A and B are shown apart, each in its own frame.
Chain A
Amino acid sequence: MAGAEFETPELSEHIEVPELVEGTMEHITCFVAKPNHQEDLGFPGEKVENWKEVAIDKMGDLLSRYRSFQVFMDACVKCGSCTDKCHYFLGTQDPKNMPVGRQDLLRKVYRRYFTFAGKYFPKLVGAVDLSEEIIDDWYSYFHQCSQCRRCSVFCPYGIDTAEISMAAREILDSIGVGQKYCNEIIGKVHKIGNNLGLPGPAIADTLEGLEEDVWDEDEVAVKYPLDVKGADILLVTPSADFFAEPHVDGLIGYGKVFHEAGVSWTLSTTASEAGNFGMFIGSYENMRRVSLRIREAALELGVKRIVFGECGHAWRIAYSFLNTLAGPFDFLDPDYPVPQHICEFTLNEIEKGTLEFDKSENDDMSITFHDSCNVARASRMGDTPGGQFEIPRKVIKAVVNNYHDMEWDTIHERTFCCGGGGGLLTDDLMEVRVKGAKPRMSAFKNVMEEKGVTHLAAICAICKSQFTKVLPYYGMDMFQIVSVHQLVSNAIVLNRKTPPEEAPGYGEDDDE
């Protein structure tokens, strides 16, 4: 339960595959959604009486609608290839945190109710009846999966535990046993427009503050516009960018890049959130509803392009699903991809030569880059496969002098999750988060010791929040995590000076 004592794992020099210890994480249960959180999303408020039938029916429904789920339930041969690939297993030793161990929690019920072998020879194929204990196991262990897809890279059939944990969470939601963290947040997006429940005036206030900060530092009136009709670019960014460190430094960076590029842009109050937790709970309907806000904002503001800020799962949905969920985007400028990642935008400007940098501004740091799982394994940037690895690194190398990668088997498509993705970024799952961060923390610690790296740069709001929390558990400093566009912001030279009357607060009374 939340707040329980636990030991932070020791960091190791290499990825060490631990021995199995059954049940080490059995006690984990995150807070269950309250009836109003459930009902806002169209799920039953409380556990339904005929939960068994409802769960089996839902499983059948998902099997008929998702080829991934159907094929993945059948195809696993238990080869063991995935067993040492999950950061939660590596950090907890719990066999139910091995990808196949987690999948089997669902697969053994699938076999019992949907396969010939499981119906007539359950013992032979490890099929079991659905029971209270299994529902408890589902709730516990499918909320110990960050849907990072590392297992799917190494599976000979591409079985993706993310798909299976999404299905499991959807089944749990359908019987009224949802997770509070995700479902409450999705409700906030539906009602207010962002995960944090920030109302329009609060965002406006924050952005004004940012304009003042940049003015104070650089004497340049960089604008952070909100709801400006007729702007060229709609920027959709995770709401953490509006206030949390180091996220907000990234937002400052985006504004400076747009300023120097000389483009007009705007944020939107109604689409003030790039994140979309609908994916985490596997709900197509909720994911679509959240995505449609972006389409509506783009239409209402009459923009020509959509650019996404630094957010991992948001970029997966933006890149891979947005066209499906909220397209077609034929009303936008066809010369640009829809949507674009801020790193694609920035690199494009760098290559055009519109941006000037003073790299020495970042000389107090030596940087490594954390490939966020959803960017690395579930999306792309640029025109060629693997652009999602190269483009952010090119941006970083354009603005810093000191850069070193972590070990090859912990980056690119082999990257380790931060430990907080997939709807786990909640305090009641702190033990899972800290233990799951072990492989990434080990790789970071090693590159610190071997190459003198000081900071970890990321392009994901969840990664940034997670590292801020878990770095101290491993004896490191929470400020060692930085935004990629924070580095850009530090180094960028603002050449487009502005007349003083555009300065924030110009002409207002000074004596208030």
Chain B
Amino acid sequence: MSSVYALLFIVATIVLVIGLARKIVQYAKTPAPLKIPTTPAPVTQTGVVFRLFREVVLFESLFKSTKWTWIFSWLFHMGLFLVLLRHVRYFIDPVWLPIQLIQPFGKYAAFAMVAGLAGLLVRRIFVDRVRYISAPSDYLWLLILLMIGMSGAMMTFVIHTDVVAVKQFFTGFWTFSGGELPMDPILLIHLTLVAVLMILLPFSKLLHIPGVFFSPTRNQVDNPRERRHLVEWARKFEES
């Protein structure tokens, strides 16, 4: 059974890395022929870095838009971020100091994550506008993430699993010395869903993760009068 999971995570990692890399290459290679930043926009590259930072870390545009969605999604994303940082400890030995320091926050961040997801799910079901635009996959993502969060929190706070064995299993990946995974149902559910998420991410709306960095309305400098912007496919018109 442990080797099935080992295989699953090898496949999931390969799919995630290659799938995401392919999309990132696609986004990077696709030209943006016109200057279309949503204005007022920064007039320097540094300004753009700040704008993207505010967008990615603070969800600035969403904050402007609707406070409920902002609160739920910020709780979820920041909770997930801390939880992920905390999980680094299962892959490295010795554990880096910052990861050690984050441990207590990372544990309780699971509640923020689950609360945020629950709020988003309620909103998706009860706000008629959001319900209208939801496909089955939109609900499924929330459910998968909720179950990952809840199963994880269960193991932290209720029914502990043998984390030392789990850590041996995952650190064994690097050295091909793989240990045995504890056969706890909650752990197996947790890990299966994580693998599913990793495999589906590059084919789903979770592409908003790389997408936000490539969005021309957010990442372009507002300087079209000062600097001429011309992409390759548009250059051919100049020659004719």
Contacts and interface: CB of A to CB of B under 8 A. Distances in A.
B30 to A, nearest CB: 4
A156 B233 contact: no
Contacts of B234: 284, 324
Contact of A377 (B38, B65, B134, B212): B38
A158 B228 contact: no
Contact of A104 (B65, B133, B200, B218): B133
B87 interface: no
B62 A68 contact: no
A81 B65 contact: yes
Contacts of A95: 129, 132-133
A74 interface: yes
Nearest to B209: A75
A71 B214 contact: yes
Interface residues of A, number: 72
B160 interface: no
A138 B127 CA distance: 25
A75 B215 contact: yes
Contact of B229 (A68, A152, A323, A337): A323
B211 A319 contact: no
A484 to B, nearest CB: 19
B89 interface: no
Given A152-B217, A158-B61, A378-B39, A71 B137 contact: no
B32 interface: yes
Contact of B30 (A67, A79, A321): A67
A376 B40 CA distance: 8
B128 A80 contact: no
A123 interface: yes
A74 B23 contact: yes
Interface stretch (A255-263, A380-388, A399-407): A380-388
Contacts of B26: 70
Nearest to A69: B30
Interface size bracket, B side = 35 or more
Given A78-B205, A154-B64, A385-B39, A66 B133 contact: no
A290 B148 CA distance: 55
A67 B31 contact: yes
B93 to A, nearest CB: 36
B182 interface: no
Contact of B33 (A66, A152, A327, A380): A66
B208 A153 contact: no
Nearest to A385: B40
Contact of B61 (A71, A81, A376): A81
B216 interface: yes
A14 to B, nearest CB: 15
A320 B130 contact: no
B84 interface: no
Nearest to A96: B132
A64 interface: yes
A154 B136 CA distance: 24
B137 A413 contact: no
A152 B65 CA distance: 11
Report whether over half of chain B's contact residues are helix, strand or loop; otherwise say mixed.
helix
Contacts of A384: 43
A166 to B, nearest CB: 10
Nearest to A64: B30
B34 A80 contact: no
Contacts of B23: 74
A8 interface: no
Given A78-B130, A80-B69, A320 B35 contact: yes
A362 B47 CA distance: 40
B237 interface: yes
A117 B203 contact: yes
Given A74-B205, A75-B212, A284 B39 contact: no
Contact of A321 (B34, B59, B61, B133): B34
B128 A19 contact: yes
B208 A77 contact: yes
A153 B34 contact: no
Nearest to B68: A80
A74 B132 contact: no
A98 B129 contact: yes
Contacts of A76: 205, 208
A76 B138 CA distance: 11
B61 A155 contact: yes
A310 interface: no
Contacts of A321: 34-35, 224
Interface in A333-365: 337-339
A212 interface: no
B38 A153 contact: yes
B73 interface: yes
A324 B225 CA distance: 9
B217 A68 contact: yes
A324 B35 contact: yes
Contact of A117 (B31, B124, B204, B217): B204
B175 interface: no
Contact of A158 (B217, B222, B224): B217
A125 B234 CA distance: 34
A328 interface: yes
A469 B147 CA distance: 55
B41 A323 contact: no
A117 B138 CA distance: 13
B55 interface: yes
Interface string B63-81: 0111001000100000000
A323 B39 contact: no
B27 interface: yes
* Of A98, A101, A125, most B-chain CB atoms within 10 Å: A125
B123 interface: yes
Contacts of B65: 81-82, 85, 154-155
Contact of A80 (B64, B123, B237): B123
A76 B32 CA distance: 19
Contacts of B222: 380, 385
Given A81-B69, A157-B208, A380-B40, A323 B224 contact: yes
Given A156-B59, A158-B217, 10 more contacts: A80-B69, A80-B130, A81-B62, A84-B129, A95-B132, A155-B61, A323-B225, A324-B33, A327-B228, A413-B39
Interface of B: 23, 26-27, 30-36, 38-43, 55, 59, 61-62, 64-66, 69, 73, 123-124, 127-130, 132-138, 140, 200, 203-208, 211-212, 214-218, 222, 224-225, 227-230, 233-234, 237
27 contacts: A20-B132, A66-B33, A67-B30, A67-B31, A67-B32, A67-B214, A67-B216, A71-B214, A74-B208, A75-B205, A76-B208, A77-B138, A79-B69, A83-B130, A83-B133, A98-B133, A125-B137, A126-B136, A153-B61, A154-B64, A156-B55, A159-B215, A288-B237, A321-B224, A324-B234, A327-B228, A385-B43
Nearest 3 interchain pairs by C-beta? A75-B211, A126-B135, A158-B217
